[in-house]
Amino acid sequence: MRLPRVRCTLRSMMVAVAVLAAVCWVAERKLRFQRLTEYHFLRSQADIICCVMLVTDDGKKTSLIEAGTGTPTMSGRADWHRTLHKKYEKAARSPWLDVAPDPPMPE
């Protein structure tokens, strides 16, 4: 039995390239959002672990660094990283949708 002959026209090749480009774009975007999700998850955990606040008898707050990974951060920054982790986790599930801009980083 003979297989049917497939005509390779310029139009069919252009459609195939466009479909392949769309698939590659979605895959690359998904990987980028997964990397951002992992980064913000690790940063939110590190910010919680590294920052220890001591309150002295006169009410002053003193920061200590346990692990020595950098400067201590506020809990607001850890919340910011948690928010971005959730945002990019959702974006990685549907990378073809638009993503809102990041909120400003707390100081």
Decide if 87 is inside a domain: yes
pLDDT at 63 over 70: no
pLDDT for the residue numbered 85:
93
Distance, CA of 37 to CA of 86 (rounded, Å): 7
Q: How do residues 10-43 score in pLDDT, each as one tens digit?
A: 999 999 999 999 999 999 999 999 999 999 998 8
**Model confidence over 64-81: pLDDT tens digits?**
544 444 455 557 788 888
59 is a domain residue:
yes
* pLDDT higher at 25 or 8: 25
**pLDDT of 53 above 70:** no
> How many CB atoms within 10 Å of residue 29?
17
Tell me whether residue 103 is in a domain: no
DSSP assignment of 39-65 equals HHHHHHHHHHHHEEEEE-TTS-EEEEE
Residue 17 lies inside a defined structural domain of this protein: no
Residue 79: its pLDDT value, please?
85
Does the pTM exceed 0.85? no
79 lies in some domain: yes
Q: CA-CA distance, 107 to 6, in Å (whole number)? A: 62
- Count CB-CB contacts under 10 A for residue 40: 21
Question: Residue 74 in 3-state DSSP?
Answer: coil
Total domain count, the chain: 1
Q: Is residue 27 part of a domain?
A: no
3-state secondary structure (DSSP) of residue 13: helix
Segments forming the whole domain that contains residue 79: 33-98
